Amino acid sequence: MFYDDDADLHALDGKTVAIIGYGSQGHAHSLNLKDSGVDVVVGLRPGSDSVAKAEANGLRVLDPAAAADAGDVVMVLVPDELHGKVWDEIKGGLEPGNLLLTGHGFSILYGLIEPPQDIDVALIAPKGPGHMVRRQFLEGSGVPGLIAIHQDATGSAQRIGLAYAKGIGCTRGGVFETTFKEETETDLFGEQAVLCGGASELVQAGFETLVEAGYNPQMAYFECLHELKLIVDLMYEKGLAGMRYSISNTAEYGDYTRGKRVITDQTRAAMKQILAEIQSGAFAREWIAENNAGQESFRRMRAEQAGTQVESVGKDLRSQMSWIDTAFHE
């Protein structure tokens, strides 16, 4: 693990950092680096809604190609599926000895970006969403992060990468050294099997089981979705054992005796198959093909899920909870 004392922000002295994209991570990285005294330029296409937002925050905005040309360090923070197209726009601006950064290893590992041999290539990945990266920075703390070096043409990739990580606040929480392969494959697996795919399907299945049995949909929502945050917060703060210590004995006994009836050997086998598809590149090829085909299936699935009962019930209930900020989603 690397912390503040292991990173020297002066490694970025005299350098310009170009952030390509101004979404969740892009805005947080740009503003944190600016507040850390780093010269920052944001790369956005003319006409993007984000141009006005970035300029209102006191940031210099150029089109992506010009931003990359101005940058000594270029961080690509657009969605994975856009990396190939963006790379075609910016690669001419990277000079020998520049550092190319990504926030996720997908595009390098699966060949959407094929960098020349005369530049440094590294990954800096905060382990939290952009709003948390920004908020914790302002509070004086920081979201932990990952660093990986894919290519070290100059011998300075780690030193400059750690300076970048310090500039966005990650070394305050600790930066763990990994590889592009490990970061990408574990990240995809976590998203698909546990954090997003697994959790979403479990919540929806539980909700539908109660509703189909005749229970009030609002009660089903509270039990299977709303209260999930309480349990996850306990896990986050105290681990599984600490969570179990904090719940009732009845809930703890139900955990031990019923959990494995939900997550069965068949479920574990499916997890291993999901991991195998990630490791072989099958998932990456599927996702790339989906994007090349215009995202038709992806958009259809998104629309179908937005129309489920758990969504409509939840939207109504959340509108009555003044303490929940629903603006981002609704």
Select from 298, 318, 330 the least CA-distant residue to 79.
298
| Amino acid sitting at position 181 | K
Q: Specify the residue for token string 């031990």.
A: 256
Report yes or no: 53 and 80 within 8 Å, Cβ to Cβ.
no
> pLDDT value at position 324?
75
The number of beta carbons lying within 10 Å of the beta carbon of residue 125 is: 24
d(CA 169, CA 145): 9
| 104 is an active site residue | yes
- Per-residue pLDDT of the chain (330 residues), as tens digits, is 999 999 999 999 999 999 999 999 999 999 999 999 999 999 999 999 999 999 999 999 999 999 999 999 999 999 999 999 999 999 999 999 999 999 999 999 999 999 999 999 999 999 989 999 999 999 999 999 999 999 999 999 999 999 999 999 999 999 999 999 999 999 999 999 999 999 999 999 999 999 999 999 999 999 999 999 999 999 999 999 999 999 999 999 999 999 999 999 999 999 999 999 999 999 999 999 999 999 999 999 999 999 999 999 999 998 888 877 655 444
Enumerate the H helices of the chain as residue ranges: 24-35, 50-56, 64-70, 83-90, 106-109, 130-139, 157-167, 170-173, 180-189, 197-212, 217-221, 228-246, 249-262, 265-280, 282-292, 296-306, 309-318
| Amino acid sitting at position 209 | T
pTM over 0.85: yes
> pLDDT value at position 45?
94
> pLDDT value at position 329?
44
> pLDDT value at position 11?
98
> pLDDT value at position 326?
55
SS3 label, residue 166: helix
91 phi and psi angles, rounded to 5 deg: -60, -30
User: Looking at 27, 29, 104, 150, which residue is catalytic?
Assistant: 104
Plot region of 189 (φ>0 → left; ψ -120 to 50 → alpha; else → beta): alpha
Report yes or no: 75 and 124 within 8 Å, Cβ to Cβ.
yes
> pLDDT value at position 23?
94
d(CA 36, CA 14): 14
